[in-house]
Structure 1
Amino acid sequence: MVIETLYDLIDQEEEEHEEIVKELYQKYMEQDVLSVAVGTLKRMDETKNEELEAAFKCIGLVESIIDGSDDQDIISKVANSGSFLLWLLERVRRRTINMVKVYAAEMLSILLQNEENQKIVGEKKGVDILLKQLAYFKKRNPKGQEEIELMENLFNSLCLVVQYVPNRKKFLEDEGLHLMNLMIREKKMSRNSALKVINHVVSGYEGRDNSIKYIEILGLKTLFPLFMKTPKRNKKTGHTENDHEEAIISIIGNLMRNLSGSLKRRLVDKFVELDHAKSERLLELHFKYAEKMEDAEEEVEQQAAMLAQEGVEMDEDMAYALRLEKGLFTLQQIDYIIVELYGSGIESLRERIISHLSMRKSSLKQIREVVKDYADNLGDGENEEAIEQERNRLLELAMGLM
């Protein structure tokens, strides 16, 4: 078969003749080999081993074209050539789990890094399709590495789809929050990825509707037990304790931003109940991540020294990015929540925060500086006015610690 020959040729030649292979990729695009591959995929009968393997190689050919091209718009071109994106969505929708479905889910997660593709998938009921596929893992763990890979790629695709803001409404209407919340309650392997999805849909001002809905479905009752006791590392999926903590803290931080009135008060009250147990936990996490940042400073200095030996100077942006990678973002979210609680007007919360800090020979000053630094480094975005308002709000909260 022609497709198999092309796949084998690429596999053999990539490392030995890089320039020739790049030229070959260009010819593939000119001759629209992608459409041929998609047409071939549509005719495959995966119940036959030979055709199953050929379908797998067709997808591999497409991935090779993406990897080997210098074209910045290659992901968009690949997605639209022969409706490859829609074929992937349809293949993921089918129940049969085999190596082709697993590969299709992986390719879908690659192509959905493009905003236009996110829009297309949303318009084709892709959010509903992904949710229905993930529902399979609600009460059962994946069987073997193949199913684990499938599940994680489906979750990654969902996270990417909801980055396109209009798809968050579809997620809400398709009861995505209910499914994610149930997955967390079931304590299966899907739990950490479900947390990651929730974090995506409640993030930013665009996450306000999902934030409100999350409170209404009693999501806090599911979330806070995990906040109080971090699940251990899952060796099969690779999710660590830090992954869980970072996702949960980020969700709480986003809820604090997006909620108001009685709904926000319900969130704040969680830190008061049971003799402020959750406030104590929050402050424990503050010290944990503050210590991590002390270690990170040594790594930043070491990295700067290594770059200096190569004649490269580490600028502030590089150093800041490294700190974020080492846990600074989570510390910022923790300290942001602390200043929100401190400014809530609940005197017992203020007293508990000050008392706990004093016991550890710390003070509000450290928290204030972290939040001010966070405000100063808020990134640029399309809505500059909203970002500036948030920056001013954060600075006002930080100054309230004086």
Structure 2
Amino acid sequence: MNIDDLFTPRLPPKRKIATKELTGEPPKRLRGEDGSQLRTQIEDVEDGENGVREHLREDDEEDGRFYEGSGLSERDKGILDVVDEPFNPQEPAALDIAAVRKLVLKCEKAFQKNQDMRIRHADDPTKFMDSETDLDEHIHALMAITSAPHLYPELVRLNFIPSVVALVSHENTDISLAAVDLLNEMTDEEVVPEDGEEQEAGMKEFVSALVENTALEVVVQNMARLDEDQEEDKKGVFNSLSFIENAISVDASIAESVVRQTGILSWLLKRIRAKAMDSNRQYASEMLAVLLQSSRDNRLKLGNTTITDMNGVDIILSCLSPYKRRDPKDDDEVEFMENLFDALCSALNEPEIKVIFLNGEGLELMLILLKEKLMSRMRALKVVDYALTSKSVGDPADPTPRLAERWVDILGLKTLFAVFMRRGAKKFKKEYKAYSEKEEDEHAISIIASLFRYLAAGAYRDRLLFKFEEEDFEKCDHLALTLWCSYLERAREADVEIEKERKRLRAAAQDVDEVDEEEFLLRRLDAGLFHLQILAEIIAFLFHEGAAGTKEHLGGIFAGEPKTGGVERVREVLQERLDVLGPEDSESAKSTLQMLLSSLSS
């Protein structure tokens, strides 16, 4: 006997189609063991000083102390028997296939009975209310199966998947929400242990069957009928989004199919436009970021999804616009804002989205956010970095050069180099715990390198080069003495650790294979090699195209400061970057690096 079940009040769901109290049907009268009705009228008696009120039946003896029989139902007696038993902590009996079949069969019968009662008494909801209470209990009983995900395939073999999907679209939203809650709990990643291969396989088969039986479509459609002003419906929306996220974590390809087959993208965009901030709005922004993260088709659909004459990119920008005047009010809103920035960054991987971003004055909004120096500045800089980064260097159809020119046109260079020089960094460190000076440095140097790649010779490029001459070449000093030396040291430390690892492997008579080499390269890149290569590219551009004063100043730094490693070290870093470029990198990018290497050698 489950103690939790015994003490759980057996109350009907909060919202039912009809209740007996509303219809005026009198309550059933209690009956004694001999079948006679007991009088239920109760009188209240004050208990002395404490004023405690006791309830006495009129059928009691005169002194009100004794009553023939225990007065307890069989269920109440069972509860007391369990409580009186000595506590013996034991693990609950593990579910087996027979138990799962029994749970499923009971739920199926309850579902069928409810459907029959609904058809038979369509005009009198009171006649099928009890069957829905019973069905709700059987749905909740299925929660026990979450303890045995390796048995999930049995649900598939029992053909229960179509039934649970049908329950999601049940006419009574309480039943529907119970079914969604069941799906959410059963697909939660925590039900699968880390080393549970059998459980993981069971989960994958279960989720695959749900997708095949249109569970995603039904769940998304069901969200449209929920009223989030009611707490139960609000929780149902949250559970629906959680179920979809769980399914994606089991199979990443579901992210693309759910967008293709349902209207979830439109629903999410409408939900993030809501003015009031709550957990579901935050969750909608998170789901939007998840769906855009790894699917080009989803990102393109964002630009093609229109709601009241606004496409998805414009909606995200409009939701970010308030943060040019204020910071988020709480942690939920902070996460909401960051999710929208992440979604926008993912979308900007596509040239088609860059065009929409450009035409929607996205760069202008990011510049305002940078100037206002609020929390949003930290993410706005990242968006500009993504907008000005491209894998299609030299492609005439690539809109990135147009974005680079627009950035110069709107006077973005002044604000960018203020960030590059770490102006205001002390304020950010003091006010925002999430602030990372390293992250800002990396985005700033990445944007500057992109401007060198995409700004054509002429006025735009001259304005960029002139920035390194200002204020007595202070930006050259920061570039070479602060950033270059710092990242060079990080890369050197990583190389030392990796060399120790190589020696350890050789001492153990183990070969350093290709997998090891890839891991070593990733460790070096994470330690700072990637951004060291970007810094080397900027330095090479300045040596190649900078004014005579810039070249002379930089040359003096690299010749006179041993920590820089000299110009030869810059060349080595650039050569290493050229060596790792693969077939996916454009020929234009490779030829640019070769040109820069040649200029450093001369």
Please, what TM-score do these two structures have when normalized by structure 1? 0.92
Name the CA shift for 1:345/1:133 in 2 (closer, same or farther; >3 Å).
closer
**Alpha-carbon distance in 2 for matches of 1:166, 1:68:** 30
The equivalent of 1:165 in structure 2 is 351
Structure 1 residue 241 and structure 2 residue 440: aligned? no
Structure 1 residue 348 and structure 2 residue 549: aligned? yes
**Alpha-carbon distance in 1 for matches of 2:512, 2:402:** 46
Task: Within 5 Å, give how 1:286-325 maps onto structure 2.
Answer: 286-302=484-500, 304=502, 313=513, 314-325=515-526
Structure 2, unpaired ranges of 5+: 1-177, 306-310
Structure 1 residue 256 and structure 2 residue 457: aligned? no
The equivalent of 1:91 in structure 2 is 271
Specify the code of the residue in structure 2 equivalent to 1:229: R
Cα deviation, residue 312, structure 1? 6.7
> Residues 180 and 198 of structure 1 are in contact (CA less than 8 Å); yes or no, is this contact kept in structure 2?
yes
Once the two structures are overlaid, the 10-residue window that deviates more, 1-10 or 12-21, is 12-21
Structure 1, unpaired ranges of 5+: none
> Residues 142 and 151 of structure 1 are in contact (CA less than 8 Å); yes or no, is this contact kept in structure 2?
yes
Q: Find the partner of 1:120 among 288, 301, 306.
A: 301
Name the CA shift for 1:67/1:304 in 2 (closer, same or farther; >3 Å).
farther
**Alpha-carbon distance in 2 for matches of 1:328, 1:214:** 27
**Alpha-carbon distance in 2 for matches of 1:10, 1:397:** 53
> Residues 303 and 313 of structure 2 are in contact (CA less than 8 Å); yes or no, is this contact kept in structure 1?
yes
> Residues 536 and 574 of structure 2 are in contact (CA less than 8 Å); yes or no, is this contact kept in structure 1?
yes
**Alpha-carbon distance in 2 for matches of 1:132, 1:240:** 26
Structure 1 residue 391 and structure 2 residue 590: aligned? yes
The equivalent of 1:193 in structure 2 is 379
Task: Within 5 Å, give how 1:91-240 maps onto structure 2.
Answer: 91-112=271-292, 113-124=294-305, 125-204=311-390, 205=393, 206=398, 207-229=400-422, 231=425, 238-240=434-436
SS at match of 2:387: helix
The equivalent of 1:277 in structure 2 is 474
**Alpha-carbon distance in 1 for matches of 2:202, 2:183:** 13
Deviations 1:60-107 (A, max 9, x none): 1111111123xx632211222322222222212222221111111111
**Alpha-carbon distance in 1 for matches of 2:574, 2:522:** 16
The equivalent of 1:378 in structure 2 is 581
Please, what TM-score do these two structures have when normalized by structure 2? 0.63
Cα deviation, residue 339, structure 1? 0.9
**Alpha-carbon distance in 1 for matches of 2:593, 2:512:** 34
SS at match of 2:468: coil
Name the CA shift for 1:312/1:3 in 2 (closer, same or farther; >3 Å).
farther
> Residues 376 and 391 of structure 1 are in contact (CA less than 8 Å); yes or no, is this contact kept in structure 2?
no
Deviations 1:247-306 (A, max 9, x none): 000000000110121110100000011111111111121111111111111233355567
> Looking at both structures, which has the greater relative contact order when contacts are Cα pairs under 8 Å and sequence separation is at least 6?
1
Cα deviation, residue 5, structure 1? 2.3
Cα deviation, residue 307, structure 1? 7.2
Aligned length, in residue pairs: 396
Specify the code of the residue in structure 1 equivalent to 2:556: S
**Alpha-carbon distance in 2 for matches of 1:46, 1:213:** 42
Computing the radius of gyration over CA atoms, which structure comes out larger, 1 or 2?
Answer: 2
> Residues 189 and 237 of structure 1 are in contact (CA less than 8 Å); yes or no, is this contact kept in structure 2?
no
Cα deviation, residue 33, structure 1? 0.9
Percent identity of the aligned residues? 33
Specify the code of the residue in structure 2 equivalent to 1:327: G
> Residues 66 and 78 of structure 1 are in contact (CA less than 8 Å); yes or no, is this contact kept in structure 2?
no
Cα deviation, residue 135, structure 1? 0.7
**Alpha-carbon distance in 1 for matches of 2:511, 2:575:** 32
Cα deviation, residue 380, structure 1? 3.2
**Alpha-carbon distance in 2 for matches of 1:286, 1:199:** 20
Aligned Cα root-mean-square deviation (Å)? 2.1
Specify the code of the residue in structure 2 equivalent to 1:61: F
**Alpha-carbon distance in 2 for matches of 1:247, 1:312:** 34
Name the CA shift for 1:145/1:299 in 2 (closer, same or farther; >3 Å).
farther
Name the CA shift for 1:246/1:306 in 2 (closer, same or farther; >3 Å).
farther
SS at match of 2:540: helix
**Alpha-carbon distance in 1 for matches of 2:521, 2:299:** 30
SS at match of 2:262: helix
